[in-house]
Amino acid sequence: MILSLLLALAFQLGPEQQVPVSGNHSQHIIAGNVHAYTSSNTSYMWTEGSTPIKIYSGSFKSDHPAITADGWSACHVRYSGLGNSSTSGMVPILRLPQGNQAVVSNTSETAFDPVIQKMPDGSIWVAYTGSWGMHLYVSHMRLDGAWDVRDLLISNINTKSHHPDIGLARGLIVIVWEEHSGPNGPHIAMRSIKPNGSMTPISKLGGQQAYHPSLAIHKRGFIGVAWRQTNGQVRQSIAYPFGKTISSSVFAGNGKDVKLAWDHDDLEPAILAPNNTVTLRGITFAATEVGSWDGTYIAYNRGGNSYWR
């Protein structure tokens, strides 16, 4: 009885807090005490107790931030003459913890929507949409700041693939994305990169007219994926690291993108689908967009400002 009470208290949500710089915020995410958000066409990273800094320090517009708890960050930049191209387009930018920046994609094609995953050895994987929105690629940066994998195609060359999410499960880099192929509309695809650099086959997690997957990895290695469908439903799939499905569930949704996270030791992940309010751990609060939730902290937007609890 006492243990149950202590556990309940330990996993209660704390009071709402606001990122101190306000105004036209969206895409607020959090990792530890590091935040990222986009405001007025600029992506920022903010460590609690410090001043927000631009993820991309140049003059072009930036969007779609990604972060790690130790200060790696990424976004895509709407450029003109940046990187290897003299034309206009988008390119992912990776910002290292020490502040220097690197262009992720080495091609002249438009690439965007980067997501990042830190490895135990300190290196970083970046997944992104490239080929003018047609295919999915990954790049890997070593600790010394050099790329040893650059623009590796991981999606099917005959499909249109975008909206990736990335995670780490028992040493495997796991990537999920929205794949468009066939007459039934997009479905959700998944693939893993092994420690030796080889890749597992692409697996289809099910669903038709499926969009914007959200990936969450349990500490035991289970993989959870949730996505929305055009009929308003939300689907969830739980799989082993090598892609074998354990369970699949369907829930009522509201047509908005969803976020998925494992809550401490629960073996069933929680799905968050905001509809002006979100209910989590028995608390209901106003939120028009949920950016991230890692089982400890939830980051969200409301009224043009960024909040967390």
Closest CA to 94 of 29, 138, 28, 34: 138
Q: How far apart are CA 169 and CA 50, in angstroms?
A: 32
The C-alpha angle with vertex 309 and arms to 274 and 233, in degrees rounded to 5, equals 20
- At 231, the amino acid letter reads N
> DSSP readout, 180-231?
E-STT-EEEEEEEE-TTS-BPPPEE---SSEEEEEEEE-TTS-EEEEEEETT
Cross-strand partners of 166: 175
Does 118 score more than 90 pLDDT?
A: yes
pLDDT bracket for residue 11 (50, 70, 90) = low
> Torsion-angle region of residue 87: left (phi > 0), alpha (psi -120 to 50) or beta?
beta
Cβ-in-10-Å burial (0-12, 13-18, 19+) of 86 comes to exposed
Closest CA to 249 of 267, 263, 264, 265: 267
Cβ-in-10-Å burial (0-12, 13-18, 19+) of 209 comes to middle
Q: How far apart are CA 123 and CA 7, in angstroms?
A: 35
Q: How far apart are CA 45 and CA 54, in angstroms?
A: 6
pLDDT bracket for residue 264 (50, 70, 90) = low
Interval 53-103: pLDDT, tens: 999 998 899 999 999 999 999 999 987 654 554 456 888 999 999 999 999
296: how many CB neighbours lie within 10 A of its CB?
13
Q: How far apart are CA 66 and CA 131, in angstroms?
A: 21
pLDDT bracket for residue 8 (50, 70, 90) = very low
Q: What is the pLDDT of residue 295?
A: 77
Helix/strand/coil for 275: coil
Element (H, E) at 307: strand 305-308
Q: What is the pLDDT of residue 241?
A: 61
> Torsion-angle region of residue 246: left (phi > 0), alpha (psi -120 to 50) or beta?
alpha
Q: What is the pLDDT of residue 249?
A: 77
Question: Phi and psi at residue 75, in whole multiples of 5°?
Answer: -160, 170
30, 72, 80, 96, 176 from 101: Cα distances, Å: 21, 10, 17, 6, 26
Q: What is the pLDDT of residue 273?
A: 75
Cβ–Cβ < 8 Å for 261, 226: no
Q: What is the pLDDT of residue 5?
A: 38
Instruction: State the average pLDDT for the chain.
Output: 85
Q: Which residue has the higher pLDDT, 189 or 185?
A: 189
